[in-house]
Amino acid sequence: MGNSVLVIAEQRDGVLKKVAFEMLGAGAGLATASGGSVEAALLGSGLDGLPDTLAQYGATKIYVADDDSLATYSSEGYTNTLADLIGKVEPAIILLGATAMGKDLAPRLAARLGVGLASDCTALEIDGGRLLSTRPIFAGKALARVKLNGDPQMASVRPNVLAAPEPDPSAVAAVEPVAAAAGQVRARVVDIVGAGAGEIDVAEADIIVTGGRGVAGPDGFVPIRDLAKTLGAAVGASRAAVDAGWIEHSHQVGQTGKTVTPNLYVACGVSGAIQHLAGMKTAKTIVAVNKDPEAPIFKLANYGIVGDLFEVVPLLEKEFQALLSE
């Protein structure tokens, strides 16, 4: 068993997921503490240029399986290829993103390797030479600190929680092509249908405009979507709006939705319940639009507008459109 940290870097359509950079940042810290190095594994098809980006974020060596058979994600194909690679590299620690793909892949890979998995972690450290992972449990009411028996030690990491390092454009890494070993794949992806084609995922967005119960119905999301479109933003939602069936769960921000860290978060008709704040409180700039001046969201917001969102949001949209077309 070596002492390297292997980050499984996820890409979709040739674009690396942000969580890959966040894991490289955390992985570098772990590697320093354990005396190893941080490396990355990249799977897919047509991956030119991506290893350079991973090097800039700190990977010292990158294993690349670039093959048509890996063009779309398949549990078996990716597990087979990674199990093969891990057998050769023998990392001490393996990190994956707790994304839709990672949530499918990580447990399958752990089972294949016959090891444990700390899933959906929000902090990682080395304690007594072993990985110590922190993971929220019971919908975030408690934190479990997990140490795994056996090697390698595996953890999946919640996106948008750990800080990504600043990229170093001069960094270079060794790139090692590895053979795809997709093997016999019994379940094949035949089609991928994106939810709301063209929509930006809140977990990846730089700007988010969110609607809460205050939008009062599915049609209330029309001005929210208009403002989001003008700003090039993703549309977020509180759980109240999702539970009411006004918008799909993929938009939900918060403890039981997605954790987000955009530069700008515009909360409209959202009261600011603790479970909502848990998912967005680290946004750089928070703007709140609410007709109740006592709404708790104003305690966190950098800018607050007390008013009816159905008046304020279209006005904001008009102003931004004028400003951005200048």
Ligand X SMILES: Cc1cc2nc3c(=O)[nH]c(=O)nc-3n(C[C@H](O)[C@H](O)[C@H](O)COP(=O)(O)OP(=O)(O)OC[C@H]3O[C@@H](n4cnc5c(N)ncnc54)[C@H](O)[C@@H]3O)c2cc1C
Residues at the site binding ligand X, with contacts judged by CB under 6 A: 139, 212-214, 238-241, 252-257, 269-271, 273, 275-276, 279, 289-292, 295, 308-310
Could you tell me if 69 and 182 are in contact, meaning their C-beta atoms sit under 8 angstroms apart? yes
Q: In the bound complex, which residue of the shown chain has the CB atom lying closest to ligand X? A: 254
Sign of CA dihedral 8, 13, 15, 17: negative
Report the residue number, 80 or 238, with the smaller CB distance to ligand X: 238
Report the residue number, 127 or 308, with the smaller CB distance to ligand X: 308
Which candidate, 107, 246, 148, 243, places its Cα nearest to that of 254?
243
Could you tell me if 91 and 152 are in contact, meaning their C-beta atoms sit under 8 angstroms apart? yes
Shortest gap between Cβ of 72 and ligand X (angstroms)? 30
Shortest gap between Cβ of 229 and ligand X (angstroms)? 20
Kind of pairing between the strands at 61-66 and 174-177: parallel
Report the residue number, 128 or 293, with the smaller CB distance to ligand X: 293
| Long-range CB contacts for residues 294-299, cutoff 8 Å, separation at least 24 | 295/271, 296/271, 296/272, 297/267, 297/270, 297/271, 297/272, 298/272, 299/272
Shortest gap between Cβ of 140 and ligand X (angstroms)? 7
Shortest gap between Cβ of 192 and ligand X (angstroms)? 26
Name residue 132's beta-bridge partners: 125, 147
Give residue 183's identity as a one-letter amino acid code: G
Kind of pairing between the strands at 303-306 and 285-290: parallel
For residues 203, 209, 215, 218, the Cα torsion angle rounded to the nearest 10 degrees is -60
Shortest gap between Cβ of 123 and ligand X (angstroms)? 20
Report the residue number, 72 or 122, with the smaller CB distance to ligand X: 122
Shortest gap between Cβ of 215 and ligand X (angstroms)? 8
Interatomic CA distance for residues 109 and 95, integer angstroms: 11
Could you tell me if 105 and 111 are in contact, meaning their C-beta atoms sit under 8 angstroms apart? no
Report the residue number, 59 or 224, with the smaller CB distance to ligand X: 224
Report the residue number, 66 or 120, with the smaller CB distance to ligand X: 120
Report the residue number, 139 or 174, with the smaller CB distance to ligand X: 139
Shortest gap between Cβ of 139 and ligand X (angstroms)? 4
